[in-house]
Structure 1
């Protein structure tokens, strides 16, 4: 399938560590090259991966036919509600028109007792964000040099619709009990457990 290290694949571990014990189904939202879907499939028997880019999905399908590849928009595609034990999205929600609506949709797809994990991008604002960005810049240089940097097929976005603080505010208002974390490599994570 190709791929390698970058800021998104670096955070696969956050998703994989959140997979509930006994998970049978997973959804990878905005799968792109399908690397997270492939990692999930190594742990979860049934993985669905959705993305708008049919050409990228066709390439992924050739290398991992054991994943259900779906060309479509997660906001409107008729995915079965409350049916995925793990719903994951890496660097996708900032492409969607309304963050709150996107998080509600992903929560609706999460099975009772399941887990939703969003790894996202946002704009920095304030000294704490800027300090984290400095740490991230150093971490990027070290890891890119030691692991080699791979550019994924998704469009590169340089300006994001929300700051980290705004994302945190929207997420806590939308997903009661969500756990928020800011990561150095220009990412945040939201982890939410659906009520059993």
Structure 2
């Protein structure tokens, strides 16, 4: 058993290296289903290669994406139709947010790169009355329920990799080339701090090592 487990893990790593799929992009459609059909301005924090910003564009008058990585912002601009009402900025989302307020703010797999409470406070400050904030983030597993979800996610991850890539070996998409950082906050810490910054926020663990936060600013 002690030699079998490392072998299984190496096999999984090799499988996913040749059949990668973007866990963050997997939640884009889920995000869209929780947003209004039309809104004025949207901000995508940690916009990466711009996939979510481009999906938001048909519903918004204008979409701003901001990311700290100049290379991935350049790639987002290359992939975006110049006629689309989408702009991308290189910068610190807590200091250089393009002028709001916004009807929608999204933040996918980025908030763990920032001071969590400060980020939520910044997002709240830039939301218009009636606006929606959606965060999809990562957390450090600690509780038994965390590890149970992780255990379910492992075989599901293999199935999704096979289905999304139609069984073929593929190269990594542009959306998966941005720098990453492991999460340091547990889910319970995230829930506690989120409810302090955003009373009434709804949080839930999601499959594939993610959690979701949804908050509506009513006034």
Residue pairs, 1:71-150, within 5 angstroms: 71-81=90-100, 83-96=101-114, 98-148=115-165, 150=172
Aligned to 1:23: 39
Taking the aligned partners of 1:70 and 1:135, their CA distance within structure 2 comes to: 37
Deviations 1:9-54 (A, max 9, x none): 0111232112224312110000011111111113323100001112
Aligned to 2:17: none
Q: Is contact 1:25-1:86 (8 Å) kept? A: yes
Aligned to 1:40: 56
Aligned to 2:87: 68
List gaps (5 residues or longer) in structure 2: 1-19
Q: Is contact 1:20-1:85 (8 Å) kept? A: no
Taking the aligned partners of 2:21 and 2:99, their CA distance within structure 1 comes to: 32
**Residue in structure 2 matching 1:169, options 192, 198, 209:** 192
Higher helix share: 2
Taking the aligned partners of 2:29 and 2:38, their CA distance within structure 1 comes to: 18
Deviations 1:161-186 (A, max 9, x none): 20111111111111001011110110
Taking the aligned partners of 1:17 and 1:142, their CA distance within structure 2 comes to: 24
SS in 2 for 1:20: coil
SS in 2 for 1:155: coil
Q: Is contact 1:79-1:109 (8 Å) kept? A: no
TM-score by length of 2: 0.81
CA RMSD of aligned residues (A): 1.6
Aligned to 1:154: 178
Aligned to 1:193: 216
Taking the aligned partners of 1:162 and 1:59, their CA distance within structure 2 comes to: 30
List gaps (5 residues or longer) in structure 1: none
1:156, CA displacement in angstroms? 2.8
TM-score by length of 1: 0.91
The number of aligned residues is 190
The answer to which of 183-192 and 18-27 deviates more is 18-27
